[in-house]
Structure 1
Amino acid sequence: MPFPVFHQAILIGKHQAVGVGRTLAEIGAWLAENGVEVSVERQTAHHCDLPGYADLSLDEVGARAANGGWVAVVVGGDGTMLGAARQLAPFGVPLMGINSGRLGFITDIAESEWHQALGAMLAGHFEREHRAVLAGEVLRDGQRIYDGIAINDVVVNRSGSTGLVELRVDVDGRFMYVQRADGLIVATPTGSTAYAMSAGGPILHPSLPGVVLVPIAAHTLSNRPIVLPEQVHIDIEIVSQKDVGVNFDMQHFADLLGGDRISLRTAPHRAVFLHPPGWSYFATLRKKLHWHEILGVEV
């Protein structure tokens, strides 16, 4: 009998990882037996032996998902989950993450527990989260030369050169500062536990409507991370003439010149993540960051 919430599933996997193809095959067979129509993301299908399923690009999934009923089941690490979420967020397709990687901040279903978790979630028992997405473009002489989106962060830093870079930052058209540092991270709450945290930034709860700017090894110690409201327009101008680059979620890169401007704002759409019943963000932090727990306190 079909599940009442989802009747179409797209399988996405980190096909380079050992055993992921086997896990995807088991999940696909189980879903099909329970009345869910299963498809496989095209690159995953190309690298994994999963016969009997249609292969679709994520753009094709988005085009078919307008009436709802679709879910993406991702087997891999956070990088695989982020890559799928960037493409599916504009279409509102929710994602479930099964962790075959290491950290797993957003792929939070253990690979050994997928059967129990998916059974409950596909029946409608889950925690739903809407995560902010950053959208940006690079302007050179007023012309757009690059654009991208990020769910974790946008990072501007030196690329192959020594010395600090100088970056002018404006917020909603108002001058904030000129930052002299190795670079600057603009992170969503999701990305606050990634590179931004390693650079000394704060952890933002994913429900907070904000973004954090974190300098990388700032020349002046008083240049501290700052949290800004979500609905702001951030412009970063390259002041120095050194080799500088920008990347979106550490995946998409563009080389920059002096005078180039990166324009960032929160995208109108959200990435939708589904978690097992009883999921807790704080439990994830305790586990992944090895926070000590007080003895005798049940969690």
Structure 2
Amino acid sequence: MLSPSPNSSKKAFSRVALVGKFHADGIEDHLKDLATLVSGLGCEVFIEAETATHLGLSGYPTKTAQDFAGSIDLVVVLGGDGTMLGIARQLAGSNVPLVGINMGRLGYMTDIPFQSVKDTLPKIIAGDFEADTRTLLDAVVLRDGKEINRALALNDVVVNRSGISGMVELAVQVNGSFMYNQRSDGLIVSTPTGSTAYALSAGGPILHPHVAGILLVPIAPHSLSNRPIVLPKHSVTVIEVVNGLEVIVNFDMQSQTNLQSGDKIEVRQSDKTIALLHPSNHSDYKTLREKLHWNEYPSTF
């Protein structure tokens, strides 16, 4: 059972919503413990409606994510980066900050281990934290010049082949200038946040979250001269499907649109952002070391 630490009466956030990963083992008990901890700090606690419904949680009021803006001061996400991606896209531009607590695996965004919640979360709620603003991508799918879908992505927008179909041919323009025709398994358009996700596994560089840029990373390109490139943050990238079967575009790997030859995907940086809150001793480099198993620095540093 989690209990608040002494001298926890001060708080920067009064109305706190909890969001949980539906299928994680023990999530119900962990959410109940978390709710007890937060309410013990003098906060009004809400459970995100979809989380409450799927887990059958009762005893606390619920709110939908769409109703958080103006009525919730802080969202605490219990799960992994996938859970954080889903709620962050819904809250983009709402000015409601998020805190991520992981359920055993170290996450890039859900960076607080559950074992340290009783020590860390009260400090954050009391106002002792580091705020980290993250940008999103705004993607529009066009068919015959008409918009057929629009979505936000915190990690990436990915155009790729599905199933066992062959390579896809894509034509790419940036700010109206032709860049290249590319034959590959697909193309990733990534934020700095997403540079440690699919883009990294496809050979892209790691961008610090505060770098203002957009990353293009080919997926298994036919020509090895097709390399990742970092574009200025105000770039508008247009990707046209020239040829290919079973081509899709997905957004943070959580929603997708089936594409046809001639379809275009227009991607730019969104004017909406999200704020992640970290413990005051947070280090992006420490997270990378632990996640990527880099050697620790010498103790003399």
Q: Give your verdict on TM over 0.5.
A: yes
In the alignment, what sits opposite 1:197? Answer: 200
1:2–1:36 CA contact under 8 A, matched in 2: no
CA distance in 1, matches of 2:297, 2:93: 42
1:214 to 214, 217, 224: 217
CA distance in 2, matches of 1:128, 1:112: 22
1:40 to 47, 54, 61: 47
Q: C-alpha deviations, 1:199-254, integer Å up to 9, x for none? A: 00000000000011000011111110000011111110000042210000001010
1:293 to 290, 293, 296: 296
Secondary structure of 1:90's counterpart equals coil
CA distance in 2, matches of 1:3, 1:16: 34
Q: C-alpha deviations, 1:54-85, integer Å up to 9, x for none? A: 111100112535xxxx1000000000011111
Secondary structure of 2:299's counterpart equals coil
Secondary structure of 1:179's counterpart equals strand
In the alignment, what sits opposite 2:4? Answer: none
Q: CA deviation at 1:295?
A: 3.8
CA distance in 1, matches of 2:48, 2:245: 40
Q: CA deviation at 1:88?
A: 0.9
Q: Counterpart of 2:217 in structure 1: which amino acid?
A: V
Matched, 1:105 2:144: no
In the alignment, what sits opposite 1:165? Answer: 168
CA distance in 2, matches of 1:3, 1:145: 48
Cα RMSD of the aligned pairs, angstroms, is 1.4
In the alignment, what sits opposite 2:97? Answer: 94
Matched, 1:227 2:230: yes
Q: CA deviation at 1:179?
A: 1.1
Q: Counterpart of 2:44 in structure 1: which amino acid?
A: E
In the alignment, what sits opposite 1:17? Answer: 24
Provide runs of 4+ in structure 1 moved above 4 Å: none
Is the deviation greater in 47-56 or in 20-29? Answer: 47-56
In the alignment, what sits opposite 2:136? Answer: 133
Q: C-alpha deviations, 1:13-38, integer Å up to 9, x for none? A: 00211111111111111211221111
Q: CA deviation at 1:183?
A: 0.3
For structure 1, the 5+ residue unaligned runs are none
In the alignment, what sits opposite 2:267? Answer: 264
CA distance in 2, matches of 1:5, 1:182: 47
2:152–2:251 CA contact under 8 A, matched in 1: yes
Matched, 1:62 2:65: no
Q: CA deviation at 1:174?
A: 1.1
Is the deviation greater in 218-227 or in 98-107? Answer: 98-107
Q: Counterpart of 1:148 in structure 2: which amino acid?
A: A
CA distance in 1, matches of 2:112, 2:254: 24
CA distance in 2, matches of 1:296, 1:59: 47
TM-score by length of 1: 0.95
2:104–2:114 CA contact under 8 A, matched in 1: no
TM-score by length of 2: 0.94
CA distance in 1, matches of 2:125, 2:70: 22
Q: CA deviation at 1:101?
A: 4.7
2:92–2:274 CA contact under 8 A, matched in 1: yes
Secondary structure of 2:271's counterpart equals coil
In the alignment, what sits opposite 1:146? Answer: 149
Matched, 1:79 2:82: yes
Q: CA deviation at 1:296?
A: 3.1
1:161–1:242 CA contact under 8 A, matched in 2: no
CA distance in 1, matches of 2:104, 2:198: 17
CA distance in 2, matches of 1:77, 1:257: 33
Q: CA deviation at 1:167?
A: 0.6
